[in-house]
Amino acid sequence: MNRMIWIGIVAWGIIVTLFGFSAAGPVAAGSSPAMQAQDVVFLIAGGLVACLIGLVGLAGVLGWLPALQNEQKTYS
């Protein structure tokens, strides 16, 4: 896969995580929260998992993980 796809997955994970953190802000006294607590947890956890998936994929594409490196084929 292209490197830009993996970078896009990381960026999407960051956006989802930031949305979760922004929804986790303080609630004014006497008002009900806009989102339930489990929704915020799912947004933050899902965003972090997406970042992790993107980073592992990007590391594999760039050859930083020895197990994911493509072997050079020799035609002799």
What is the separation, in whole angstroms, between the first and last Cα of the chain? Answer: 28
Instruction: Give the CA distances from residue 3 to residues 8, 21, 54, 73, 76, in Å, rounded to whole numbers and listed in that order.
Output: 9, 27, 10, 22, 31
pLDDT at 9: 86
- The structure tokens listed for 11 are 């960026």
Write the pLDDT tens digit of every residue in 5-62. 888 888 888 888 888 888 777 666 666 667 777 888 888 898 889 888 888 887 777 7
The model's pLDDT over 60-74, given as tens digits with 9 standing for 90+, comes to 777 766 665 566 666
